[in-house]
């Protein structure tokens, strides 16, 4: 007979009726590293700088603080939830307990499919950096490194996915060590890049206060161009909820996860913003067309940091892309595991199985890796693959976030949030600021989702099925998911016996708001 570990109220699992089956070994820095590696300062800023700068010029940088304020409002809401419920598949479980069965499932479905698409988008960044270190990494496609090679990006990206699949299959301890090491390297490199660029400033900040001719003669003028360019900033600052999604593997998660979320988004804003500002001020020639092509920010680093120094920093960017992919993969695995143990996915029992030695869900690791590579291969001949995948993934994540912040706002209006034990136990709570911050989070999520999904050739390209990609792909993904849910899924949904806590056998699998 297996003796089950008692559920510790400080671990935040007593509300769900699950037994502890994952390896609780993640400390404070590793929790922070999980959030910051998903955001990934060097991956996001270097991956889409060319799009933001090429669309709206230097002034696109104003979207950086705007996105930060909006996402900080979301992060603060998530910090309260993490202080109460630091659990695997955080967004899914939060929506489930704040809303209802359908809201919880659909938010999880959106977040899961978005995470898989995000992996496919993130790994494509490798082709913008590796060949600049050594041209031999351009295995397929043009020898002109200023031209993107979708085929080469898919090949290198697939190799990267295989590596993260193997690491995750070996368990959270190995993942945590590699991820924390990679984040440490990334943070040091990011700070040094910002400092070196700052010492090579070649112009005044006046460049940020002029449209510099961008948007002239176009529909919507500069504002239209600016809204499109904001995608470059919106792509970076999300995924901070990963720190809470690893809550079942974190020591003292109710206090560790909220602080990790805050530190992750603050570090990304400050360090990433410094890199972007100083890069534009230090660029030898802002009229260089290479800056508006993929790898534009990498080119500035090479131009400013002579010889091997620039290539060393590019190697650090590769490390950042690697740990970002690893973090996204890890978060997707935990979400799959969380939904599967509620039998909320097909083959739930198999997907929720934890390896007895590594205490890791191995099957989800392999399945997500295969699906990510499949997405890459299917789109291999699409020249707009990168922006299309990026945009669709961001929108789905904004939708998933809205399905948490929206129900949370309703609970505030009803006087059912925040729960009194947050303040009493010394856990994070916004107090009287919670309502206005939550309202900002919801309005921000709606506005940004609409802005990103709006059909524009500048983002999605042509023909029409690319221009309308957000509506088509998200509609298909959402429709297929809801079809399964209403015809098959909802009938057998509930905590699997293999994961149900023996110490709380009468727990409600899908507790309503009164359960908080």
Instruction: Please tell me the predicted confidence (pLDDT) of residue 172.
Output: 83
In this predicted structure, the answer to whether residue 371 has a pLDDT above a threshold of 80 is yes
Q: Please state, in angstroms and rounded to a whole number, the distance separating the CA atoms of residues 357 and 375.
A: 31
pTM: 0.89
Q: Can you tell me the mean pLDDT for 205-231?
A: 86
Question: What pLDDT, in 10s, does the model give residues 59-83?
Answer: 999 999 999 999 999 999 999 999 9
Least confident of 10-14, 237-241, 325-329, 417-421: 10-14
Q: What's the token pair of residue 108?
A: 């999880």
Question: What pLDDT, in 10s, does the model give residues 458-501?
Answer: 777 778 888 898 899 899 999 999 999 999 888 888 888 888 87
Contact predicate 128/293, CB 8 Å: no
Only one residue has tokens 């490390």, namely 319
Least confident of 48-62, 91-105, 209-223: 209-223
Continuous segment of H or E residues that includes residue 247:
none
In this predicted structure, the answer to whether residue 89 has a pLDDT above a threshold of 50 is yes
In this predicted structure, the answer to whether residue 1 has a pLDDT above a threshold of 50 is no
- Whole-angstrom distance between the N-terminal and C-terminal Cα of the chain? 33
Q: Which residue has the higher pLDDT, 370 or 15?
A: 370
Q: Is the peptide bond before 463 cis (omega within 30 degrees of 0)?
A: yes
Residues 6+ apart with CB under 8 A from 235: 44, 47, 48, 390, 394
Helix 469-487 / helix 385-413 crossing angle, nearest 10 deg:
60
Half-sphere exposure of 256 (CA within 13 A, CB side): 29
Least confident of 149-153, 397-401, 418-422: 149-153
Q: What's the token pair of residue 180?
A: 């924390």
Cα separations (Å) of 123 from 150, 156, 294, 317, 321? 11, 8, 14, 12, 7
Contact predicate 86/244, CB 8 Å: yes
- With b for 16 or more beta-carbon neighbours within 10 A and e for fewer, the 90-114 pattern comes to bbbbbbbbbbebbbbbbbbbbbbbb
According to DSSP, the residues that pair with 18 across neighbouring strands are: 500
Predicted confidence band at 25 (pLDDT cuts at 50, 70, 90)?
confident
Half-sphere exposure of 292 (CA within 13 A, CB side): 14
Tally: H helices and E strands in the chain? 22, 0
**CA 273-254-509 angle, 5° bins:** 115
Q: Please state, in angstroms and rounded to a whole number, the distance separating the CA atoms of residues 127 and 147.
A: 10
């Amino acid at each position: 007979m297996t003796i089950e570990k008692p559920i510790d109220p400080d671990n935040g699992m007593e509300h769900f009726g699950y037994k502890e089956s994952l390896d609780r070994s993640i400390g404070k820095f590793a929790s922070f590293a999980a959030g910051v590696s998903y955001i990934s300062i060097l991956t996001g800023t270097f991956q889409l700088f060319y799009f933001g700068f090429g669309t709206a010029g230097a002034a696109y940088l104003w979207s950086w603080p705007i996105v930060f304020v909006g996402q900080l409002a979301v992060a603060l809401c998530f910090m309260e939830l993490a202080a109460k419920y630091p659990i695997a598949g955080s967004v899914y479980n939060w929506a489930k307990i704040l809303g209802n069965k359908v809201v919880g499932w659909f938010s999880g479905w959106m977040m899961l499919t978005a995470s898989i698409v995000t992996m496919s988008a993130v790994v494509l960044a490798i082709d913008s950096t590796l060949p600049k270190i050594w041209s031999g990494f351009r295995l397929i496609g043009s020898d002109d490194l200023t031209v993107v090679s979708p085929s080469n990006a898919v090949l290198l990206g697939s190799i990267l996915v295989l590596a993260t699949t193997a690491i995750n299959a070996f368990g959270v301890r190995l993942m945590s060590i590699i991820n924390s090491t990679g984040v440490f390297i990334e943070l040091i490199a990011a700070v040094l890049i910002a400092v070196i660029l700052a010492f090579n400033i070649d112009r005044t900040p006046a460049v940020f206060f002029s449209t510099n001719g961008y948007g002239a003669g176009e529909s919507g003028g500069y504002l239209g161009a600016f809204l499109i360019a904001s995608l470059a900033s919106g792509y970076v600052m999300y995924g901070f909820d990963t720190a809470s999604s690893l809550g079942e593997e974190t020591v003292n998660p109710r206090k560790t996860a909220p602080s990790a979320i805050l530190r992750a988004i603050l570090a990304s804003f400050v360090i990433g913003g410094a890199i972007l500002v100083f890069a534009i001020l230090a660029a030898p020639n802002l009229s260089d067309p290479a800056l508006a092509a993929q790898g534009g920010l990498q080119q500035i680093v090479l131009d400013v940091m002579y010889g091997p120094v620039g290539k060393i920093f590019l190697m650090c960017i590769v490390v950042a892309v690697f740990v970002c992919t690893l973090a996204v993969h890890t978060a997707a695995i935990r979400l799959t595991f969380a939904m599967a143990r509620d039998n909320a996915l097909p083959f739930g029992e198999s997907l929720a199985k934890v390896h007895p030695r590594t205490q890791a869900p191995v099957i989800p690791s392999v399945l997500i890796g295969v699906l990510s590579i499949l997405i890459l291969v299917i789109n291999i001949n699409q020249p707009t693959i990168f922006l299309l995948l990026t945009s669709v993934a961001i929108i789905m994540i904004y939708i998933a976030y809205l399905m948490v912040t929206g129900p949370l706002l309703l609970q505030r209006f009803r006087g059912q949030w925040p729960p009194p034990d947050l303040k009493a136990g010394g856990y994070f709570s916004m107090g009287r600021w919670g309502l206005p911050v939550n309202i900002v989070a919801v309005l921000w999520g709606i506005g940004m989702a609409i802005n990103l999904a709006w059909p524009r050739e500048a983002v999605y390209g042509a023909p029409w099925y690319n221009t309308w990609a957000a509506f088509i792909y998200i509609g298909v993904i959402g429709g297929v998911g809801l079809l399964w849910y209403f015809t098959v899924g909802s009938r057998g949904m509930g905590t699997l016996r293999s994961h149900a806590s023996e110490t709380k056998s009468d727990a409600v699998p899908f507790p309503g708001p009164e359960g908080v």
